[in-house]
């Protein structure tokens, strides 16, 4: 794939946005590889994602930002610019269940996730051998009700030391404090083993079994200060029946959890997500 740049924009909807952006990029020698857009008619908002080949592009990062700022101001744009050559640092948090961690590490190894993984953080030691197998430093930060604040400060220090820009909770069974979440707004992705907003909390499979559901699900979402209330990125479901016991739901749900989390992480790394008003736009 050619080296590329990706521009994510959302702004008040009005005529001429697409034409103006396209003309601007064309004038600088951009060869557009992908372009997608969406309008929220109720809120009168416009969203777009544009990716272009950098081979003949006239400006570097600083030059682009300087040239694009007046156009962005004219249309009231909020925008982000990213480059395919930059591999962001991702930290994976895990507790005892390792299926989501294993899936992410394998996908990263085969090049599906365009990032670096400089560390794995856990409140238990169960995943140490798996981290060693993939050659990734493992940090155990034990946590209990009496040391939560100190433990989170130690975790934040590790993230800062490694320049982490995205935190992935791969079945990390601790509730992050609002203070921790505030350090990484829209940059912490969690997988919840339920089709939110149904069955939030710690034991959703047990709650689903008691309710006699006919489908189970999993949800990936950004973490906010409110438990399991962050903007939803991806969801999937699987049919079950009265014959399935709690253990069956847990076993079947693991496949959903892996897929839903990996999709969310990949879309974030590919700069396909725009979030607004508590929800997300996911570009193709």
Q: Are residues 58 and 118 in the same domain?
A: no
Instruction: Band the pLDDT of 183: cuts 50, 70, 90.
Output: very high
260 shares a domain with 123: yes
Q: Is there a single domain that holds both residue 115 and residue 243?
A: yes
- pTM comes to 0.93
Report the CATH number that the domain containing residue 11 is assigned in CATH: 3.30.70.260
Question: Which one of 36, 160, 228, 247 is the catalytic residue?
Answer: 228
Evaluate whether 234 touches 263 at the Cβ level (below 8 Å): yes
Tens digits of residue pLDDT in 197-248: 777 777 888 888 888 888 888 999 999 998 888 999 999 999 999 998 999 9
pLDDT digits (tens, 9 = 90+) for 248-278: 988 888 999 999 999 999 999 999 999 999 9
Same domain for 115 and 58: no
Cβ 104 vs Cβ 265: under 8 Å: yes
CATH of the domain at 259: 3.40.50.170
The predicted model gives 50-76 an average pLDDT of 96
Residue 169 — very low, low, confident or very high, per pLDDT cuts 50/70/90? very high
Alpha helices in the chain (DSSP H): 17-27, 61-75, 99-109, 128-133, 148-161, 178-183, 204-211, 246-269
Residues 156 and 256 occupy one common structural domain: yes
Query: Is residue 107 pLDDT above 90, yes or no?
Result: yes
Say what the pLDDT of residue 101 is: 98
Together in a domain, 114 and 190: yes
Residues 246-280 as b/e (b if ≥16 CB within 10 A, e otherwise) read eeebbeebbebbbbbbbbbbbbbbbbbbbbeeeeb
| One domain, residues 59 and 116 | no
User: Is the pLDDT assigned to residue 165 strictly greater than 80?
Assistant: yes
Could you say which of 83, 111, 132 is where a domain stops? Answer: 83
Which of 39, 62, 83 is the C-terminal boundary of a domain?
Answer: 83
Predicted confidence at residue 1, as pLDDT, reads 77
CA count, 13 A, side-chain hemisphere, 129: 3
Cα 176 to the center of its chain, rounded Å: 16
The total number of structural domains in the chain stands at 2
Tokens of 275: 């979030």
Same-domain pairing of 194 and 53: no
For residues 63 and 95, state if they share a domain. Answer: no
The residue among 255, 136, 250, 268 whose CA lies nearest residue 190 is 268
Do 155 and 182 belong to one domain?
A: yes
Instruction: Give catalytic status of residue 228 as yes or no.
Output: yes
Q: Which of 62, 83, 104 is a domain's end point?
A: 83
Residues 39, 163 within the same domain: no
Range of the domain at 11: 4-83
Average per-residue pLDDT for the chain? 94
Residues 76 and 100 reside in one and the same domain: no
DSSP 75-94: HT-EEEEEETT---EEEEEE
Give Cα 233 distance to the centre of its chain: 7
The pLDDT of residue 105 is above 80 = yes
Q: What CA–CA distances, in Å, run from 258 to 34, 133, 283?
A: 27, 19, 21
């Amino acid at each position: 794939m050619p080296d590329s740049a990706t521009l994510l924009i959302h702004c008040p909807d009005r005529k001429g946005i697409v034409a103006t952006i396209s003309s601007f990029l064309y004038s600088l020698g951009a060869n557009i590889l992908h372009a997608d857009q969406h309008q929220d008619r109720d809120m009168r908002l416009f969203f777009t994602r544009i990716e272009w080949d950098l081979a003949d592009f006239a400006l570097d990062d600083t030059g682009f930002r300087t040239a694009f700022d007046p156009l962005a101001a004219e249309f009231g744009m909020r925008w982000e610019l990213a480059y395919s050559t930059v591999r962001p640092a991702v930290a994976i948090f895990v507790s005892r269940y390792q299926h989501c961690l294993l899936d992410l590490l394998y996908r990263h190894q085969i090049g599906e996730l365009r990032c670096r993984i400089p560390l794995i953080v856990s409140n238990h030691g169960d995943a140490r051998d798996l981290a060693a197998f993939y050659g990734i430093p493992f940090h155990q930060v034990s946590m209990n009700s009496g040391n939560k604040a100190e433990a989170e400060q130690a975790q934040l220090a590790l993230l800062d030391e490694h320049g982490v820009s995205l935190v992935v909770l791969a079945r990390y069974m601790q509730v992050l404090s609002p203070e921790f979440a505030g350090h990484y707004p829209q940059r912490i992705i969690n997988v919840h083993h339920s089709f939110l907003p149904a069955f939030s909390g710690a034991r959703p499979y047990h709650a689903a079994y008691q309710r006699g559901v006919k489908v189970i699900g999993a949800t990936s979402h950004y973490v906010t200060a409110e438990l399991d209330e962050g903007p939803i990125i991806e969801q999937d479901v699987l049919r079950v029946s009265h014959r399935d016991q709690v253990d069956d739901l847990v076993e079947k749900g693991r496949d959903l959890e892996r897929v839903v989390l990996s999709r969310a992480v990949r879309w974030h790394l590919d700069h396909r997500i725009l979030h607004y008003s508590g929800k997300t736009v996911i570009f193709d």
